[in-house]
Amino acid sequence: MDIALLVIGLLAFGGSFYPLIRGLYSYRKAKSLPMPSKKQGFLILGGALGISLGFMLLNLALVLANPSWAEVTAWAEGTVFEGEAVSYGGNLALILIFSFLFALSFVTLWSNFYLHFRKEGFDDKARKLNNWLLYGAIPLAVIFFCLFTSGYGPYLSYPLINGATIGGESGWLWTTAHYRGGVSEGGLHVAFYGIFIVFGVFVCYWISDHYFFKKYGKHGILDLIAVVGFLCGIIGARLWYVVGNWDREFANASFDKVFAIWDGGLTILGGAALGILGGVVVARLAKPYVDLRWGVDVIVPTILLAQAIGRTGNFFNCEVYGQVVSVDGWRFLPNWLLAQMGMNGGGGHLAPGLIHVPLFLIEAVISICGFFVLYVAIGKLLAKWRRPGDLAGCYFIWYGVVRAIMEPLRDSAYNMGTDNAWSVINSLAYILIGVAIVLFFHLFDDFRKRKDGAPSSIASAFFLLISLFLPLSVSLTATEGTNTFLMGYQGYEIIFSGKAPADLAAWVLAFLALLLALGSIGIRYWKKEAPFYKYFLYASSVLAVISAALLFFATGNGGIEEVPGATKDEINFNVSYGFAIMAILLLVSLVPSSAILVADIQNAREERKALLAQGAGASPSLPPEEEKEGRQSEEKDGDED
């Protein structure tokens, strides 16, 4: 029976793709049809129903192929739901009903995505229907997937499979987070984590490529950019993980471990930053005709979707857990997800009724929401105030806020660095980088239009002023090597202790930078036409850079002599919250002067091009009538000669 259902299901599932694709393609090519014809609608609907029916039959065949499931009456011992009743009939109903609905909603999502980007000739009614079907299918597909897979939950083994080893001693071996056959038996280990990362990149590429097609009329513009950006992202993710966890994992290990990414150890914060930078550089060099600011607004927000998909790999790897909590407040999630969250990272189960907070899921959901917030709320609703490039900056702000919220919720075993300060500082740095990007584009555009540098001077002074007051924060400036924060110490206690000369010099330089920025404001309002206010701002930026460097690279204990439970050598107060954020704010203060400098260079370049054009033409500055008279006079003189 199960074999017959398997064959019928495969025939229905595979055979229904032909009418679906034929109907969609015919409708897309018919530019004069805002809505499908009866024949096209029949092919599309029939194909979607056939695929859904086939998928349901395949799931039924899988259930019937495991008759032992009918004998399971309670959850297995050691799982989070240990001893709770299991209904075979109820689970079968979940699998059959919601597998059909999941397939139908997923086909609807895919079909309308294809038409959204490729179909021409939509009227307002058809476009509105397409949007409703496209965006409405997304939550339905997620809900139906969770419901139908919950029917399988009691019959699975935990931890779930996280990959496979191919070509080792066993030939083919499924692996879990607690047993890596690829390590002990040789062969190639293919991890779901890597598959999800690559799939996320393809989704990012697929969406971006369709937007580029709509603007430039061809696919493939992003091929080289995507490859280089992906490779740079992997390098950045590994590099940032190694730097952040140097003391914990790499300081006393063989240097070969730095390159062992197959053993895990990638951080999105470093990967996204270097991946974006690499992609921008390649786009500028290899695709100069692409509007770069428009391009980053299209591509960068889709990285949130790639990150959401990639986070699923953490779920299968039993890693990046949150704190241990009761399962009762989380029972709305699929049972197989909760059972996986009941695993310990190093092996074994938590006590029944306890799970780790599913941080991977929370971050994935917030990232998906962020994608729509950036594209819809900021991209469309705030289009009047938005400048090209703003969405790229808002990506950094959004993801920085997400990580700043998530980091304190982590299980301490998965902290970055010795006290998790590394991840928190990086999260705050992401926020400030995003603010800097948005600020740069707005000041750059405003200066090119009005040539007024006052907003830039004011913005620079604002960030410098905040940076000087930041060391007033208590317990944000010193950490101890034993993973404990030193409470009650202000930055000024360290700066003016007399034993931290580098930090004192940094603060003095930052104060002088503020005075120069205020001086540029005064000059701008005192003598509006005086261009030398810019040089005050440039000098302020130079001092800010030196000050930030001193804060990042200075070392010492700043005169803190008595710390309970710690010696002087265990105290590191420099690259910690207070001083690191102060240094980042100092670097952000460079953005306004950079906007003026780049705008001046751009204006000078355009003026040079205009002068060259005038030299190549026939006095283009003259009115047409005078230019015509001049040519006639020259011709008359030539005849007389």
Q: Residues 491-507: pLDDT tens digits?
A: 676 777 666 777 788 88
Identify the pLDDT of residue 631. Answer: 44
| pTM, entire model | 0.79
Which of 68-72, 334-338, 414-418, 556-560 shows the lowest mean pLDDT across its residues?
556-560
Rounded Cα distance between 90 and 238, Å, is 45
Is the model's pLDDT at 53 over the cut of 90?
A: yes
Which of 336-340, 412-416, 494-498 shows the lowest mean pLDDT across its residues?
412-416
Residues in Cβ contact with 71 at an 8 Å cutoff, skipping those fewer than 6 apart: none
Identify the pLDDT of residue 401. Answer: 87
Rounded Cα distance between 286 and 108, Å, is 37
Kindly indicate the confidence band of residue 576, based on its pLDDT and cuts at 50, 70 and 90.
low
Rounded Cα distance between 123 and 35, Å, is 8
Identify the pLDDT of residue 163. Answer: 84
Rounded Cα distance between 201 and 544, Å, is 37
**DSSP annotation string for 222-257:** THHHHHHHHHHHHHHHHHHHHHHTIIIIITTS-GGG
- Token pair for residue 373? 């917030």
| Domain-wise residue ranges, the chain | 2-156, 187-322+357-447, 451-641
Which of 131-145, 534-548, 569-583, 584-598 shows the lowest mean pLDDT across its residues?
569-583
- Token pair for residue 128? 């509105």
Whole-number Cα distances in Å, 327 to 144, 171, 254, 331, 351 = 22, 39, 41, 6, 11
Kindly indicate the confidence band of residue 484, based on its pLDDT and cuts at 50, 70 and 90.
very low
Is the model's pLDDT at 431 over the cut of 70?
A: yes
3-class SS at 18?
helix
Task: State the CB neighbour count (10 A cutoff) for residue 31.
Answer: 10
- Token pair for residue 595? 């906007």
Positions of E strands within 315-417 = 324-326, 354-356
CATH number for domain 451-641, candidates 3.50.50, 1.20.140, 1.10.30, 1.10.287: 1.20.140
Q: Residues 374-398: pLDDT tens digits?
A: 988 888 888 888 889 899 999 999 9
Element holding 572 (H helix, E strand): strand 571-572
Q: Report the side by side order of strands in the sheet with 172-176.
A: 172-176, 161-166, 188-191
Higher pLDDT, residue 188 or 234: 234
Please give the share of the chain, as a percent, with pLDDT higher than 90.
27
Cβ-count burial of 616 within 10 angstroms (0-12 exposed, 13-18 middle, 19+ buried)?
Answer: exposed
Is the model's pLDDT at 21 over the cut of 90?
A: yes
3-class SS at 512?
helix
Residues in Cβ contact with 51 at an 8 Å cutoff, skipping those fewer than 6 apart: 12, 13, 16, 17, 20, 103, 104, 107
Going by their DSSP bridges, the two strands 479-480 and 571-572 should be labelled as antiparallel
**Ramachandran bin of 59, using left for φ above 0, alpha for ψ from -120 to 50, beta for the remaining angles:** alpha
Positions of E strands within 124-247 = 161-166, 172-176, 188-191
Closest of 392, 335, 337 to residue 364, by C-alpha: 337
